[in-house]
Structure 1
């Protein structure tokens, strides 16, 4: 099946993302992230869990001030009181979380398949009768019986659900397995399917793309992959992979992706690894002599996208693996007149210093090294 052209990204940083162990965002921080998501053009946002109460409730009331800018989805357990509470607050879109695997039915809610089928139908009908957009889960879809998943898809579709979220709750599926689950649901009922993939084996992005290729319309992401355990699909990675590889432009302002990633990192106190795709500080950094030389001639040599496209910054790094072209470039940018015959000795000392300190060489250090080499070559004292 060909990937749809009407794909919808829904961000859940403010709900599933904040469930990352050790993360606790304040009302002010959550509103700042919400505003940044809206500023980047995100049109569907799962904003939180009203039944949590406390400051979360204050934040969610405030979030409704932005309801004219995006579809704001409130998450609920499969309990009528939860759903009623969210709708009474003013949310027009609700998600209902219910498990469908025998493992979760037994361990989480101590119920069986017939109970969850009836409960799902009743909760969907209640929310639809109140005029809401209704999303509902098949949680732990990786361990849900295939025939029951198809039956369940038909039941919630008949009850009026607008979409079915296929939650690979513990991330145990590979791309082929997740795509198969999506295709089961797509064929079983006339209902939009929503990808919700966890990253326990590092496959969340691949699984989501496989699900979209199998016919899903919606998909979940979190900024910086933040979520429970190993996280969820990263917003920036999904946006850029779909745009650059699959020719699906979601209308996101990609120039804001790096700032958005940095905002969430600052608020959570969790630094992004420098090699994080799209937004990591090393994504547009080049140290290897061959790479730097190629980049200085044509940036397309070793960059699949331009840093400007995602709000990043290109850097030529001087370190153990640097080459003469990078050293000359950096020195000339510092207004140093470079003698080409000194570059070999300069490079040797750069490598020694980089190994000694276990890091890259700053521009100031490089200038000092060059001046020392220059002094040795001329027999004169190095200028201050």
Structure 2
């Protein structure tokens, strides 16, 4: 099945992302992240959990008057009073989190499937009667029988739910299995589905794409892939993959992805890995001789897309794996026209220095290396 052309990205950095162990966002920080998400073109944001109270609730209350800027979704347990309270505050979109696997029902909420189906119907009806957009979960779909997922989808659709979130809560599924469940639900009930994929096996982005290829319309992401345990599908990765590989433009300003990543990284106090796809500092960095040589002639040779598309910058790194072409280029960038016969000497010294320092060699150090080589060459003449 082709990926739909009416996809809707929903960011959950402020809810699932903040559930990263050890991460806590203040009201001010959550406001800054929400501002940045909306400025980047995100049109749907899951903003938090009102039942937490305190500063979390204070932030959520400030969002009531911002619902014209984006769809702002509040998350709830399967507790009627929680959902009613959010609607009373004025929220137009609510999500109800309910588990569907026998294991989660037993261990997490200590209920059975009879309770689940009854509770889902009652909560959906109440919220719809009050005019809310209603999203509801099927949590732990990896350990929920497909036949029951289909039954559940039919029940929540009949009750009036607008969307069914298919949560691979512990990240146990591969792309094939995740896509199979999305397709099975789609065959059972005409309800919009939402991908919610965790990254415990490093497959969250692949599973999200698989779910979209199987017919899902909505999907969850977080900035920098933060979230419980190993995190979730990454906003930047999914947005860029859909744009570049599947020709689906979500209206996100990709030039803001780097700054958005930096903001959340600082707020979470977790640095982004240099090799993090799309927004890592090494994504557009080049050191090895063959690669740098090719890049200096044609920047498309070893980059999938230009760095400016995602707010990044191209870097050439001097180090152990550099070649003569990069040495010459780096000297020229500092206004030095290098002698060809000295490039080999400079390269040897750069490699030795890189090994000694276990890192890159700054361009100014290369200039000093060249001047010393030039001085020795003059003395020997």
Which residue matches 2:197?
197
Which residue matches 2:146?
146
TM-score by length of 1: 0.98
- Within 5 Å, give how 1:177-216 maps onto structure 2: 177-216=177-216
What's the CA shift for 1:374?
Answer: 1.1
Which residue matches 2:217?
217
Instruction: Please give the alpha-carbon distance, in whole angstroms, between the structure 1 residues aligned to 2:94 and 2:340.
Output: 66
Which residue matches 1:83?
83
Deviations 1:40-96 (A, max 9, x none): 000000000111110011111122332111000000001101101111111100000
Which residue matches 2:308?
308
- Within 5 Å, give how 1:21-170 maps onto structure 2: 21-170=21-170
Instruction: Please give the alpha-carbon distance, in whole angstroms, between the structure 2 residues aligned to 1:341 and 1:357.
Output: 26
Which residue matches 1:359?
359
What's the CA shift for 1:125?
Answer: 0.5
Instruction: Please give the alpha-carbon distance, in whole angstroms, between the structure 2 residues aligned to 1:225 and 1:35.
Output: 19
Which residue matches 1:337?
337
Partner SS, residue 138 of structure 1: strand
Instruction: Please give the alpha-carbon distance, in whole angstroms, between the structure 1 residues aligned to 2:373 and 2:55.
Output: 62
Segments of 5+ residues of structure 1 without an aligned counterpart are none
Partner SS, residue 300 of structure 2: helix
What's the CA shift for 1:330?
Answer: 1.1
Deviations 1:137-171 (A, max 9, x none): 00000000111111100000000000000000000
TM-score by length of 2: 0.99
Partners of 1:44 and 1:71 within 8 A in 2: yes
Partner SS, residue 116 of structure 1: helix
Is 1:6 aligned to 2:6, yes or no? yes
Which residue matches 2:229?
229
Deviations 1:293-313 (A, max 9, x none): 111111100000111100000
Partner SS, residue 74 of structure 2: strand
Q: CA RMSD in A?
A: 0.8
What's the CA shift for 1:236?
Answer: 0.2
Instruction: Please give the alpha-carbon distance, in whole angstroms, between the structure 2 residues aligned to 1:59 and 1:376.
Output: 66
Instruction: Please give the alpha-carbon distance, in whole angstroms, between the structure 1 residues aligned to 2:76 and 2:25.
Output: 19
What's the CA shift for 1:110?
Answer: 1.1
Instruction: Please give the alpha-carbon distance, in whole angstroms, between the structure 2 residues aligned to 1:85 and 1:266.
Output: 33
- Within 5 Å, give how 1:212-361 maps onto structure 2: 212-361=212-361
Deviations 1:274-309 (A, max 9, x none): 000000000000001111111111110000011110
Partners of 1:179 and 1:211 within 8 A in 2: yes
Partner SS, residue 164 of structure 1: strand
Is 1:373 aligned to 2:373, yes or no? yes
What's the CA shift for 1:341?
Answer: 1.2
What's the CA shift for 1:268?
Answer: 1.1
Tell me how many residue pairs correspond in the alignment: 380
Partner SS, residue 76 of structure 2: strand
Instruction: Please give the alpha-carbon distance, in whole angstroms, between the structure 2 residues aligned to 1:361 and 1:283.
Output: 19
Deviations 1:185-213 (A, max 9, x none): 10111100000000000000000000000
Partners of 1:51 and 1:85 within 8 A in 2: no
Is 1:19 aligned to 2:22, yes or no? no
What's the CA shift for 1:369?
Answer: 1.0
Instruction: Please give the alpha-carbon distance, in whole angstroms, between the structure 1 residues aligned to 2:330 and 2:33.
Output: 37
